[in-house]
Amino acid sequence: MVRAIRGAIQIDADDREAILSGVTELVSEVMERNRLTTDDVISVIFTSTPDLTAEFPALAARKLGFHDVPLICASEIDVPGALPRVVRLMAHVETDRPRQEIQHVYLRGAAALRVDIAQ
């Protein structure tokens, strides 16, 4: 069965190491909370707000071992008043877990984005 998992993290600064560190934290939490391995992951879409340009978020996933997983990065729409410095992800995974057991992950300031599904 294919499921989609959402996640987001607010990054401290538009700095290469800050982006890599934050995305590593986010991806690791998604994998751990949903008891996944990279073999379970079909693909991951990363988006970042327009104020984050120092590095591609997908590089952090590659460094975590996502070598054979299709990854792509895109820019979020520049909505006035939106939370700054946010990287989001949508991971498509193979799992037997029912939809209600999927854990979406919102970290740091990004927890305010989806209080309805953040765990």
Is 101 considered catalytic here? Answer: no
Q: Which of 76, 85, 94, 101 is catalytic?
A: 76
* Tokens representing residue 92 in the block: 């498509």
Is 6 considered catalytic here? Answer: yes
Q: Which of 33, 97, 108, 114 is catalytic?
A: 114
Q: Which of 32, 35, 62, 101 is catalytic?
A: 62
Is 25 considered catalytic here? Answer: no
Q: Which of 3, 6, 55, 85 is catalytic?
A: 6
Tell the burial category of 111 from Cβ atoms under 10 Å away from its Cβ (0-12, 13-18, 19+).
middle
Q: Alpha-carbon Rg of the chain, whole angstroms?
A: 13
Is 94 considered catalytic here? Answer: no
Is 114 considered catalytic here? Answer: yes
Residue 94 near residue 2, CB atoms below 8 Å: yes
Q: Which of 88, 97, 101, 108 is catalytic?
A: 88
Q: Which of 25, 73, 97, 108 is catalytic?
A: 73
Is 35 considered catalytic here? Answer: no
Is 76 considered catalytic here? Answer: yes
Q: Which of 33, 99, 106, 108 is catalytic?
A: 106
Amino acid at 83: L
* Spatial distance between the Cα atoms of 82 and 118, rounded to a whole number of angstroms: 18
Which active-site residues does the annotation give? Answer: 6, 62, 73, 76, 88, 106, 114
